[in-house]
Amino acid sequence: MENISDAIYIADKEGKIILMNAEGRSLLSDYYAVKNAEDFNITKQAFDTSGNEIHVENLSLKCALRGEKIKNKTIIIKRSDKELTIRVNSTPIYDTSGNLIMALACYHDITDLAEKEKIIVEKYRQLEILKEEAEIANKIKSLFLDNMSHEIRTPMNGIFGTIQLLEKTPMSEEQSKYITLLKNSGNKLLTIINNILDISKIEAGIHKLNDGKFALKKITDDIYTNLLESGNSKGLEIRYYFDPNAEFIAIGDELKLKQILDNLISNAVKFTEKGYISFRVTKVSSDNDYVKIKFTIADTGIGIDERFKSKIFGIFSQGDISVNKKYTGTGLGLSISKQLAMMMNGNISFESTLGEGSTFTFTCSFKKSDYYEKNIEVMNDNKISEDDNINNLWMNKSILCIETNSIDKEVMESIVERKGCKYIHAHNISEALKILNCNYVDLILLDMKLNKLEDFEKIKEMRISRVKGKNIPIIGMSSYTIMENREILMNLGIDHCISKPFNVEEIYNIFEIYL
């Protein structure tokens, strides 16, 4: 006991210290000239230092002498040289007949450990502060990106809508050429804007997938059609295979799937000057709930230099970054595609030989749906004809558009009236409710930039027609890429949502469904 590193104190049943080891004497040397255990009697002088917390530990032996135990109690001893943190344990000692004869107290110096704990606690406190600051900064960044998306997409919607309306007017061959140039430039600009916003949202951890039902084969057939057009314009052979086992109604993010495939295929077309491009869709595996699909895009293009293979999925990564580079692009497409693929429980890998070509493989999983929904069938199979003949079924139909942007208002008015419908405009939901009190409308188009919580509640009221006693279909239009507002609106019963800038034919397809 004399050599144990803990301080040991034993008192007899009268409270007199009968044993104290070297560590015990050392611990109290600041208060008493302790040499022998007999110098202490807890009922009179042991631990009796006025105003010092060590006085409390008088109780550790007293409690033990009453038959009580103290376990891992922490106390502070303030010595002249330093402050000690002590962990105390005490217990009664009985003879073989069960009579209490002694009490034992053990003091363990945990000062160093306590100091480390204080440091750790302080570091955790600082981390919590940093975490809170990061969360606040992340929210600010999210709001900034959301607002920036709206501010960019709103004028883009005006530009694209105006171009599409111009296409439907009589034009000379020269004017048609200029419109095509405008469309192509606008599409490239929109792609760059979307990529920059997407990578910012992914880095901020605020990018979300939005599940919906779609026919997988219909999506890939449309992509093949676009590939055929762009590939043939360069004299390339285009190959396409769709596994019959992969033909099903999928539940997933249709837009993100298109975005990934468009990125991979546009790269194949861009970097291939001769030869072929192959696009294959195959089913890998399935269970009761999910189907794993593999998309393979192979080309006979320039290939990828070994030096750049490890960097190909990095942000802003390109093989040639010189000012005079042959191939244009921001270097964001593959990085975004890779991260989106991982969000879809998949991945993107590649094999490439410089000068011979590349093969990119993209895998992802979709939930299965066993039935077609009415809207999917209509939108996929009953496309509106390209001519400008007014649909007689739409004559005298009234469409209420709630839109705050004056340019978008003008564009939508032209889109609606071209099909013979009556256009009614409201600047906000309150104004729309007043209009609905006096007028029956067949469809409501709603800009989804809502700033007040009351706006969401008013939508429920707005859905109910006061004339024919049925719910009016509501189509939400959004310039936002963050979808919290969209989810809330869908929960309120909005029938369909479209993103700005939208396609005019998409608007007419929606009219076909709901009118």
Q: Among 280, 285, 220, 247, which residue's Cα sits nearest to residue 372?
A: 247
Mean pLDDT on 312-317: 66
Buried b (16+ CB within 10 A) or exposed e, 291-325: bbbbbbbbbbbbbbeeeeeeebbeeeebbeeeeee
Q: What is the DSSP letter of 393?
A: G
Helix (H, G, I), strand (E, B) or coil at 109: strand
Mean pLDDT on 153-157: 79
- pLDDT tier for residue 485 given thresholds of 50, 70 and 90: low
Whole-angstrom Cα distance, residue 193 to residue 154?
Answer: 13
Q: Does residue 515 carry a pLDDT above 50?
A: yes
pLDDT on residue 383: 46
Beta strands in 128-275 (DSSP E): 212-215, 237-242, 249-252
Q: Flag the least confident range among 146-160, 205-219, 266-280, 484-498.
A: 484-498
pLDDT on residue 214: 87
pLDDT digits (tens, 9 = 90+) for 428-438: 888 888 888 88
pLDDT digits (tens, 9 = 90+) for 97-128: 999 999 999 999 888 887 788 888 888 889 99
Whole-angstrom Cα distance, residue 57 to residue 485?
Answer: 62
Mean pLDDT on 437-455: 76
pTM: 0.51
- Omega before residue 501 within 30° of 0, cis: yes
User: φ and ψ at 496, to 5 degrees?
Assistant: -160, 150
Report yes or no: 209 and 343 within 8 Å, Cβ to Cβ: yes
pLDDT digits (tens, 9 = 90+) for 389-430: 455 667 778 999 988 888 888 888 888 888 888 899 998 888
User: Token pair 């027609």 is at which residue?
Assistant: 465
Over its C-alpha atoms, the chain yields an Rg (Å, rounded) of 38
Q: Flag the least confident range among 201-205, 219-223, 428-432.
A: 201-205
- pLDDT tier for residue 46 given thresholds of 50, 70 and 90: very low
Burial class (CB in 10 A: 0-12, 13-18, 19+), 169: exposed
Report yes or no: 361 and 299 within 8 Å, Cβ to Cβ: no
Mean pLDDT on 150-159: 78
Mean pLDDT on 50-54: 38
To the nearest 10°, report the CA torsion of 492, 495, 501, 502: 180
Report yes or no: 399 and 442 within 8 Å, Cβ to Cβ: yes
Whole-angstrom Cα distance, residue 495 to residue 478?
Answer: 14
Helix (H, G, I), strand (E, B) or coil at 510: helix
Question: Identity (one letter) of the amino acid at 250?
Answer: A
User: φ and ψ at 377, to 5 degrees?
Assistant: -60, -45
Q: Does residue 37 carry a pLDDT above 50?
A: no
